[in-house]
Amino acid sequence: MSSMSLWFSFTFVVIALLLSMWQKLGLEKEIAIGTVRCAVQLLAIGYVLQFVFHTDHPIYQALVIAMMIGVASWNASRRGDGLPGILWRVTASLTVTATLTMSLLLVLGLIKPTPQYLIPITGMIIGNSMIVAGLFLSHMKRETETARGEIEALLCLGANKKQAIHGVLKRAVKASMIPTFDTMKTIGLVQLPGTMTGMIIAGANPLEAVRYQILIMFAFSSSAAISAALISALAYSSWFTRESMLRP
């Protein structure tokens, strides 16, 4: 894709801007910020990846992955604003999820241990886990408020924190995993996902591209389950005080 073509792609942003102005939606600032951030972030990561692939040094790969985990953890933990220690809990669950899933992919020989495979696939795993963790925290916040009476009734019967919040936790874990499995059910019928589309555009055989996409989707299912289980195990106590009282 030439630089000229990239400039032409701004036509789509101009369409969005014009529609916003015409309909008086007041989204011009949002569209402008989104456009600049999207272009700058992607170009920056493009240069970073080019450098990392070129040098092929593990420390740079680790740094890129650490940055991904950092940004994803910060983003997901915002859903649990006000909960003590939520950032480190999300960071720990995303780190363990990425490590476990990637180790499994490497040990089973499903991907090659090169930065071209490791970085994009780890990024996708972390991205999916970030969505799961964010959804879990949002659901927990809402559910804990709705089920406050139920939790307190159980506490009054001598339940410990885990027993008292178990029902709410189960509902939140389930709700956070559903979108991943819903996507698996409709993939290929509704949307052609990123990996597959990218590979086909780059000239790969569609069947080869599909194989990789299946691999990614299956990896997503396990990473969604791992991250939901981890974040729920690490975060449920944040809803209670040290004296096992439900936070106001």
Decide: 121 and 212 in contact? Cβ < 8 Å: no
Q: Does 82 bind other proteins (CB under 8 A)?
A: no
**Least Å distance between CB 246 and other proteins?**
8
Report the distance separating Cα 202 and Cα 1, nearest Å: 11
> If 0-12 CB within 10 Å is exposed, 13-18 middle and 19+ buried, where does residue 141 land?
middle
β-partners of residue 203 are none
Report the distance separating Cα 56 and Cα 189, nearest Å: 38
Q: What is Dmax (Cα atoms) for the chain?
A: 69
Site string for other proteins, 121-140 (x = CB under 8 A): --------------------
Applying the rule CB under 8 A, the residues between 161 and 190 that interact with other proteins are: 163, 167
> If 0-12 CB within 10 Å is exposed, 13-18 middle and 19+ buried, where does residue 136 land?
buried
Site string for other proteins, 85-114 (x = CB under 8 A): ------------------------------
Q: Which of 1, 156, 202, 207 binds other proteins (CB under 8 A)?
A: 156
Q: Which of 1, 59, 107, 157 binds other proteins (CB under 8 A)?
A: 157
**Least Å distance between CB 83 and other proteins?**
17
Question: Given the rule CB under 8 A, which residues bind other proteins?
Answer: 149-150, 152-160, 163, 167, 241, 243-246, 248
